[in-house]
């Protein structure tokens, strides 16, 4: 960018449910701090932006930027005014093309909440080379999918190297507990992906391939994570986890972009734990059946979400098991306060944006792990009430 941008961060989609949570978080946590980022709210309607600004109690002089996702000129001008764009406007395969292109063109850093691997693979092919030239860091999946898993694996491998002297060739991600709801955006993204796959059957191969986001690299066979099974060492049954298809791809992309510090033969899968015995088996089978239609007959709609009380009472608890060839293992936990799809996600996206401000990684299409790594872990522990810790 030729001149110093006016803002550190612009929140695009600030009038949507999750976007306003991001704006509220930045205002409440950084608005009165001298070292806080300068930020603005952006969307299609000035009237709606003004209403949300007032609803969240942000100062009346909070900058508002009007930009239409369908107007590339609007987006170019918006991106030229900021160092980082945080966007909650999804499904990204429907509304994200022009914004990514604008950020790449202007050399502006970008972070989103995308869990749409088909679209992500397309953007990598389209923009990786130019983003490297302009210096734009395009950081997909900067919310519950996939930060706790991407960074959880990274920190588990760090602990494995410290304990065993080498990375673990296999890690299991296991969701031990979670309270909260998936966002309407997540449901809409899944629906858009299924419609796209119906029109373009080759997309199904991308969705099934754990290495779909590592162009030119095809690693070893990976567990499918789709069949319930009893895990003897944990004395619990494991069931499919709805976010695994995107999280596993991002974990492998981080490993790929960093030069395979986990090894080129690294194996990773994700599931959710139920309980021991027949009750656990029945629950695991029920979850597997539910995976055929994970959001039910009435999925949440974009813009809808839980109450403040429900967001604040939510949580998640993820266990990572590093399995070593000699039978030794290491347990590592990532735990987050607040509803994963909204309360915690809005904090993760915000802190990703702030971390990008001091990031010195080269431009390209990356992941929170590949761009930010432990710097983001530190921010999340300090500001977002997420913990990362060795357990055994």
Could you tell me the two tokens for 135? 């210096």
d(CA 265, CA 243): 23
Query: What is the reported pLDDT for 252?
Result: 98
d(CA 352, CA 354): 5
Per-residue pLDDT for 388 more than 70?
Answer: yes
Question: Do residues 120 and 213 touch, judged by C-beta distance below 8 A?
Answer: yes
Query: What is the reported pLDDT for 299?
Result: 67
Over the stretch 146-158, which tens digit does the pLDDT of each residue have? 999 999 999 999 9
Residue range(s) of every CATH 3.40.50.720 domain in the chain: 7-142+347-369
Task: Provide CB contacts within 8 A for 314, sequence distance 6+.
Answer: 178, 179, 180, 181, 306, 337, 338, 339, 340, 342, 343, 344
Over the stretch 185-202, which tens digit does the pLDDT of each residue have? 667 776 777 777 677 777
In this structure, of 3-12, 93-102, 185-194, 241-250, the range with the lowest mean pLDDT score is 185-194
Nearest 5 degrees, angle CA 131-CA 137-CA 141? 120
Query: What is the reported pLDDT for 182?
Result: 62
Mean pLDDT of 335-362: 96
Reported pTM? 0.94
d(CA 144, CA 148): 6
Query: What is the reported pLDDT for 292?
Result: 72
Select from 345, 385, 383 the least CA-distant residue to 18: 345
In this structure, of 17-31, 117-131, 162-176, 278-292, the range with the lowest mean pLDDT score is 278-292
Residue 261 DSSP class: T
Mean pLDDT of 252-277: 97
Mean pLDDT of 368-391: 98
Over the stretch 198-211, which tens digit does the pLDDT of each residue have? 777 777 788 889 99
Mean pLDDT of 317-327: 97
Mean pLDDT of 310-324: 95
The mean pLDDT value of the chain amounts to 93
- Give the CATH fold of the 7-142+347-369 domain: Rossmann fold (3.40.50)
């Amino acid at each position: 960018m030729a001149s110093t941008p006016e803002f550190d961060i612009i929140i695009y989609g600030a009038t949507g449910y999750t976007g306003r949570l991001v704006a509220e978080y930045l205002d409440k946590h950084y608005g009165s701090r001298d070292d806080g980022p300068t930020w603005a709210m952006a969307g299609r309607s000035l009237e709606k932006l003004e209403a949300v600004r007032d609803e969240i109690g942000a100062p009346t002089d909070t900058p508002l930027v009007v930009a239409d996702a369908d107007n590339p000129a609007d987006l170019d001008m918006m991106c030229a005014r900021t160092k980082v764009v945080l966007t909650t406007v999804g499904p990204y395969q429907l509304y994200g093309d022009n914004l990514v292109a604008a950020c790449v063109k202007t050399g502006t850093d970008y972070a989103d909440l995308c869990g749409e691997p088909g679209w992500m693979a397309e953007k990598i092919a389209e923009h990786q080379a130019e983003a490297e030239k302009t210096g734009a860091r395009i950081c997909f999946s900067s919310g519950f999918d996939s930060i706790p898993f991407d960074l959880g694996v990274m920190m588990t491998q760090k602990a494995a190297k410290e304990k065993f002297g080498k990375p673990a060739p296999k890690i299991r991600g296991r969701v031990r507990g979670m309270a909260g709801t998936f966002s309407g955006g997540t449901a809409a993204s899944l629906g858009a992906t299924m419609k796209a796959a119906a029109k373009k059957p080759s997309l199904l191969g991308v969705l099934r391939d754990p290495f779909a986001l590592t162009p030119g690299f095809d690693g070893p066979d990976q567990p499918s994570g789709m069949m319930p099974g009893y895990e003897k060492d944990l004395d619990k049954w494991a069931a499919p986890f709805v976010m695994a298809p995107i999280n596993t791809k991002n974990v492998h992309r981080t490993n790929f972009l960093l030069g395979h510090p986990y090894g080129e033969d690294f194996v990773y899968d994700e599931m959710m734990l139920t309980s021991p015995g027949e009750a656990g088996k029945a629950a695991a089978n029920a979850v597997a059946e539910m995976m055929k239609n994970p959001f039910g007959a009435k999925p949440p709609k974009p813009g809808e979400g839980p109450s403040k009380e429900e967001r604040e009472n939510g949580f998640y608890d993820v266990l990572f098991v590093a399995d070593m060839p000699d039978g030794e293992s290491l347990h590592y936990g990532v735990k987050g306060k607040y509803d994963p799809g909204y309360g915690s996600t809005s904090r993760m996206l915000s802190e990703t944006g702030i971390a990008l401000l001091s990031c010195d990684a080269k431009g390209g299409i990356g992941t929170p792990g590949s761009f930010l790594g432990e710097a983001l872990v530190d921010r999340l522990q300090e500001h977002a009430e997420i913990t990362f810790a060795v357990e055994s």
